[in-house]
Every structure is written in structure tokens, then in C-alpha cells.
Amino acid sequence: MPMPAANAETVGWWEAAREHRLVVQRCTVCGRTRHPPGPICPGCRSTAAEWDELAGSGVVYTYTVVRQAFLPALADRLPYVVAAVELDGAGGARMVSNVVDVDPGDVSIGLRVELVWEDMGPELALPRFRPAPTAPGPTGAGR
Amino acid sequence: MSVDPHRGTTDRRRRAVIAGVATSDYPVVPDLSEHAVHGQAADRALADAGLTLADVDGYASAGFFPMYAAGVCEYLGLHPTYFDETNAGGASFEVLVEHAAYAVEAGAAEVVLVTYGSVQLSQMGRTLGTGAPSRGGGALAPGPAIHDALWGNTLVGNYALAARRHMHEFGTTPEQLAAVAVTMRQHAASNPQAQKRDPITVDDVVSSRLVADPLHKLDCCVISDGGAACVVTTAERAADLRKHPVHILGAAHATTHQMNLSAMPDLTVTGAAQCGPLAFARAGITPADVDVAQLYDSFTITVVLTVEDLGFCAKGEGGAFVADGGLGLGGRLPTNTDGGGLSACHPGMRGMFLIHEAVRQLRGEAGATQVPGARVAVAHGTGGMLSASATLVLGRDAP
């Protein structure tokens, strides 16, 4: 698995991930979130930003089932689901990740998902998602 | 909508035209280097215009390493005083020709040669089409692309994410997407150079191997070698040249994000929704005035999004538009009359081929797929992961 080359604006994201914390970058001036991380707020041009830790729940905004991989390290995972996940509490920010622990045929847009971490080695952990447990019925607390 | 304040006031004698076009040999040229493909296209486009390299004082191209234009100039023996190597992926050549038009209209150059060359198929093999956004072998660069490449997203995967969202929001079907590929193949049958010429059906497309759901193998462009070139100059300079000049009526380009769809505001709306209306306004036309279109068709979904964003139909109606024969000869918008990237050739950044075919149409040279009496053509490039869009409006007659 190739290692990501981090830079000043992304290293905080990768370090949080290594500690199994999913974060999104939030502008401390106007509050806008952005992903992937970047040096300047696209909304107000401020360079001030902080990392908001997220609960890790979200909903599938769109997805694909990749059946022909590019990275050789992923060939033995085929077919796998790549999804854009709209993260709860992230101000509309979406993240491209995977939906795992699921038959690809059972993935759909709108599917609720929860975070699951995979350690790729001592230096790299990747956040992925799996279907969230079905919400309890009317008598339950809901999600 | 702002209209370019300079276009209307440009000295009519200096209004930009395309005086010559050509392709290199394609779709497979194992005996040519990338530079040799440029050279072949350049020689042929200059001959088409009735010019020689000695007449050229400007040069433009796009490629995948720095100082790219200078490298081709060295090979060609050109020492231009205007050059440009703007890279917007598949939209590059529409942008470069727009820039060249401004250059000749401003008097910064008299004759700009724009060339494209690639030996992608022979050099890199057939795996590129599923390539990760990040280029270069081992280390993944720290740009935004890494934030999806590590999760195994691919080039096709990005377009598949957009296609799936379009299907969800508008009810677009795989069969409608397939209609794009079927029409392109019909056009390719009349192009003796096309890489794929055997007729295909909607069923062939949707039963071909899935590469990244919902995109099948036949929803994806071919992978080819080849190049093309054009010569941009002024109406005055072109007046006594060999071929009827094609007028650059209007142009514009736009970008929504770089390489990661996480940052694309709406996966069903490309930058064409910005640059299309702007280019049409600059040209003084509406979509209804367009007789023939050459639309970047990296994937079938690319065309569906583009016909919507350029205003040939409403957002969400692109699936029905293409499935009703809208892109065919005699349809509402005859498109990619050479067979497009889906069937004729796709050497990586195909935008110059779009311009080449648009010019052929406006000169009445398109043979069996000629749109009778074509007066206005659009060439529209789409680059990256739906990242960059560029529209050129071309006319048979002076504005």
C-alpha cells in the first residue's frame, strides 16, 4: 500500500486518522467545513482552521463498485465499493471512502453508514464505513 | 452574465479564425514517438492551411511534464515569441485555442500552431483507463487526489460516482447511457481510421463487463495513440490561404474542483453550466443555433451531463435526449460525427480532435457524416474528474 505524502495542511488529518479519530477541517472564522483539507477557506479566505472530530456516522451520497483496480495492493479486494459519504455534523462535507462488510449489491444511495477503522500499518489508518445497524422501530430511540 | 467587452470591438480584420486542421495517423502508431506524432499533425495542419513552419510565430500544446511546449518547439525547430502550455486535461485544447484567439486578436501573434500528440496506447498499455488520479509511480503526491486514491477510487470510478448520482436524482438508466456509445459507434462506421467500427447495440453495452458500476466497458472511451493540430490566425491573414477559414465566434472555460469529487459541489453539474452559456453569449448565439457538436466523450455519462449543462436540454433530461436519437445524424444535436472518443480514438486528451471534426463539418468536408449546411459548431472539452470544462463556438461565416 503506497503511503500518502502529507504536507502542512493535511498532516493533522493523517495524524488524527492514525489515532482513529475522524476529523474534518473547519474554518474558525466563518465556520465552513472543507474536505480534502486545504490551506485557505474557500468561503472567506481565512487561513485559520481547526479539526472537528466527527462521530463517524453518515449517509451514502453516491457510490460505485470498482471491479478493475489501479493500485496493485487493492487487486485482492475486488470488487469493492467506493462511496462519497456525507458525514453527519460536518456541514455538508463529503468524503470519498469505502463501504465494507456488505454485499456490494446491497449498497444504495441514502444508506446510513458508520465508521470502521482499518490499520494499514503503524503509520497509516484509513477510515472506512459499513452499514449502520437498522434503526429500531417506533418504540425505540431512533438514531 | 458578462460578455467579453473586447470581442465586439476587435478589428474585424484581426478576428481569430482556424485556417487549417489535421490529424496524425491514429489510432495505433507503434513506430512513432510522441514528438513525431506532434510533428506529423503539425506538418499536415500547416499544409492544410497552405502555410509552413516559417510562417508560425506562436505555439501551444499541453502534455504531462513541465516545459512541454518548449520541448515540442525544440523538436520542430520553432522559436516562437508566443507560447502556451495550459493543461486542463481533456479540456486543454479548447482552452489553448481560446488563448490563441485572444493572442492573435491582441496582436501578440500572427500565426499560432496548436498541436497534440500522444502514444499512450503503445507506451503505457491498456491499464491507464482505470488509472488513479495521482500520476507517477510510487509515492502519492500530497494533493487532493490522494484523499480518494488510497481508498481505491479510479478514474472510471469518479465518473461512475457522478453517473450513479445522476441516475438517483433523475431516473437516468444504464440503457440511456448506453445510447451514447451506440450512436458514437454508428458514426465511427463512416470513419475509416476509427479504432472501433463494428455496430453495437444498447444490449451489447449493458451486457459488457462492468468496470465501475454503473459504467461498463463499452461506456468507456477507447485507449489510443494519435494527435491532431490546428492553425489559428487572423481573418485578414487567412483570406488568401488555401482553405475556407472557420471563425472562432466565442469561447469560455470553467473549473469546479481539481481531482477529488469530495470537493465538487454537485456531482450532476459540470463547469459546462458556467462556460457554455458564457461562450454562447460571447458568440451571440443560443443552443438552438448550434448545427453540430463535438462533445468530449471520455465516458457516456460525460456526454449526458454536457448536453444538459450546455443547455441543449433541461437538467435531468439528458438521458432521454440521448436515448431518443438526439446525438445522431438527423437528431436534435448531431454529435461526435467522427465516432468520438468512445469509438474513433482517445489518446488521453482528445480535445484537439473535437476541434478538427468541428472544422471539417463547417468546411463541408465530413463526408458520410456531414451535417448538411452546418454553419455553427460547438467543440466542448471536459478534463480531469469532470474538473475542467471549455467551450469553443465555431462558425462557417464571419460574425
Sequence spans of domains, chain B: 7-123+222-395
Give the model confidence (pLDDT) of B257-279 as tens digits: 988 888 899 999 999 999 999 99
**Nearest chain A Cα distance for residue B259, angstroms:** 10
B131/A84 Cβ within 8 A: no
Q: Which CATH architecture has domain B7-123+222-395?
A: 3-Layer(aba) Sandwich (3.40)
- What was the pLDDT predicted at B137? 38
For the cut 90, the answer to whether the pLDDT of residue B22 exceeds it is yes
Q: For A96, which of B131, B147, B164 is closest by C-beta distance?
A: B147
CB pairs under 8 A between A and B: 120
Q: For A66, which of B152, B164, B261 is closest by C-beta distance?
A: B152
Looking up cell 479504432 gives B195
User: Which residues in chain B have their CB less than 8 angstroms from residue A5's CB?
Assistant: 139-142, 146
B152/A74 Cβ within 8 A: yes
Instruction: Tell me which chain B residue has its CA closest to the CA of residue A87.
Output: B262
Interhelix angle B68-76/B34-49, nearest 10 degrees:
70
CB of A11 within 8 Å of a chain B CB? The answer is no
Please give the grid coordinates belonging to residue B272: 459546462
- B105: number of Cβ within 10 Å: 20
B165/A5 Cβ within 8 A: no
- What was the pLDDT predicted at B142? 57
Give the model confidence (pLDDT) of A60-101 as tens digits: 999 999 998 878 888 899 999 999 999 999 999 999 999 999
- What is the enclosing helix (H) or strand (E) of A18? helix A11-18
Instruction: Tell me which chain A residue has its CA closest to the CA of residue B158.
Output: A64
Question: Within chain B, where are the H helices?
Answer: 34-49, 68-76, 92-106, 120-124, 146-149, 155-170, 174-188, 202-206, 235-238, 272-283, 300-309, 318-323, 351-362
Confidence label for A7 from pLDDT (cuts 50, 70 and 90): confident
- What was the pLDDT predicted at A5? 79
CB of A117 within 8 Å of a chain B CB? The answer is no
Would you say A10 and A37 are in contact if contact means Cβ atoms under 8 Å apart? yes
Looking up cell 481539481 gives B258
Cα separation, B328 vs B321, whole angstroms: 11
For the cut 80, the answer to whether the pLDDT of residue B126 exceeds it is no
% of residues, chain B, pLDDT over 90: 87
Q: Is B335 left (phi over 0), alpha (psi -120 to 50) or beta?
A: beta
Instruction: Tell me which chain B residue has its CA closest to the CA of residue A68.
Output: B211
β-pairing, B82-84 vs B58-60, is parallel
CB of A33 within 8 Å of a chain B CB? The answer is no
Would you say B252 and B282 are in contact if contact means Cβ atoms under 8 Å apart? yes
Dihedral (CA of A93, A99, A104, A110) sign? negative
Sorted by where each begins, the domain ranges of chain A are: 11-131
Cα separation, A125 vs A117, whole angstroms: 7
Q: For B152, which of A38, A61, A71 is closest by C-beta distance?
A: A71
- What was the pLDDT predicted at B4? 53
Closest CA to B210 of B164, B145, B270: B164
User: Which residues in chain A have their CB less than 8 angstroms from residue B147's CB?
Assistant: 35-36, 95-96
Cα separation, B66 vs B142, whole angstroms: 18
A14, A82, A111: best to mutate for the B interface, most B CBs within 10 A? A82
User: Which residues in chain B have their CB less than 8 angstroms from residue A3's CB?
Assistant: 139-140
A33, A67, A86, A108: best to mutate for the B interface, most B CBs within 10 A? A67
Chain B positions with Cβ closer than 8 Å to A: 127, 130-132, 138-142, 144, 146-157, 160-162, 164-165, 168, 209-215, 260-263, 267
Strand partners, B227: B117
Give the model confidence (pLDDT) of B55-78 as tens digits: 999 999 999 889 999 999 999 999
For the cut 50, the answer to whether the pLDDT of residue B130 exceeds it is no
Please give the grid coordinates belonging to residue B168: 438517483
Helix, strand, coil percentages, rounded to 5, for chain A: 10, 40, 50
User: Cα B82 from chain centroid?
Assistant: 23
β-pairing, B292-295 vs B376-383, is parallel
User: Which residues in chain A have their CB less than 8 angstroms from residue B215's CB?
Assistant: 64
**Nearest chain B Cα distance for residue A44, angstroms:** 16
User: Which residues in chain A have their CB less than 8 angstroms from residue B152's CB?
Assistant: 66, 69-71, 74, 77, 80, 82, 98
User: Which residues in chain B have their CB less than 8 angstroms from residue A96's CB?
Assistant: 147-148, 151, 153, 161, 260-262
Cα separation, B83 vs B76, whole angstroms: 14
Residue B255 to residues B91, B270, B272, B363: CA-CA distances in angstroms? 10, 8, 9, 31
- What was the pLDDT predicted at A138? 52
User: Which residues in chain B have their CB less than 8 angstroms from residue A97's CB?
Assistant: 151
% of residues, chain A, pLDDT over 70: 94
Looking up cell 468520438 gives B340
